[in-house]
């Protein structure tokens, strides 16, 4: 596709429940990124992939967050045992190659109650 797609648009979870978000990068793009935008607008990098391989996971809270990009499937970001502070908009982005422009998806708004 010509745009990054993300599902679902909104997700509501009770504290302690699992949340799973999906991202389809632009066709032909090799790199996928996940960013978290909290209410104060601040963007936080979580993880990046080069095709199906993790490229940089320095931003991931590893004890509860995991992510995958498998061939012929949407990429996913999963949060086990959600906490109130996980409430945010999660954006996926993709780029054609290393150091190229990153194009963002519409985001998934996660609300943890």
Task: Indicate the SS3 state at residue 106.
Answer: coil
Closer to other proteins by Cβ: residue 65 or 91: 91
Query: Taking contact as CB under 8 A, which single stretch among the options 17-25, 31-39, 67-75, 79-87 is the one that binds other proteins?
Result: 31-39
Contacts of 94 (CB under 8 A, 6+ apart): 4, 25, 26, 29, 31, 32, 33, 102, 103
Beta bridge partners of 50: 31, 53
Q: How far is CA 104 from the centre of its chain?
A: 10
Among 28, 41, 71, 84, binds other proteins (CB under 8 A): 41
Tell which one of 24, 33, 77, 112 touches other proteins (CB under 8 A): 33
Q: What is the DSSP letter of 51?
A: T
Binding to other proteins in span 83-102, by CB under 8 A: 91, 95, 98-99, 101-102
- List contacts with other proteins (CB under 8 A): 31, 33, 35, 40-43, 45, 48, 55-56, 58-59, 91, 95, 98-99, 101-107
């Amino acid at each position: 596709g010509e745009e990054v797609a993300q599902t679902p648009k909104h997700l509501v979870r009770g504290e302690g429940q699992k949340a799973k978000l999906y991202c389809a990068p632009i066709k032909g793009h090799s790199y996928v990124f996940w960013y978290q935008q909290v209410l104060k607008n601040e963007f936080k990098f979580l993880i990046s992939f080069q095709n199906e391989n993790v490229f940089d996971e320095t931003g991931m809270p590893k004890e509860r967050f995991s992510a995958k990009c498998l061939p012929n499937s949407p990429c996913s970001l999963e949060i086990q045992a959600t906490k109130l502070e996980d409430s945010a908009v999660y954006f996926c982005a993709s780029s054609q190659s290393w150091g190229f422009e990153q194009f963002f998806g519409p985001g998934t708004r996660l609300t943890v109650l």
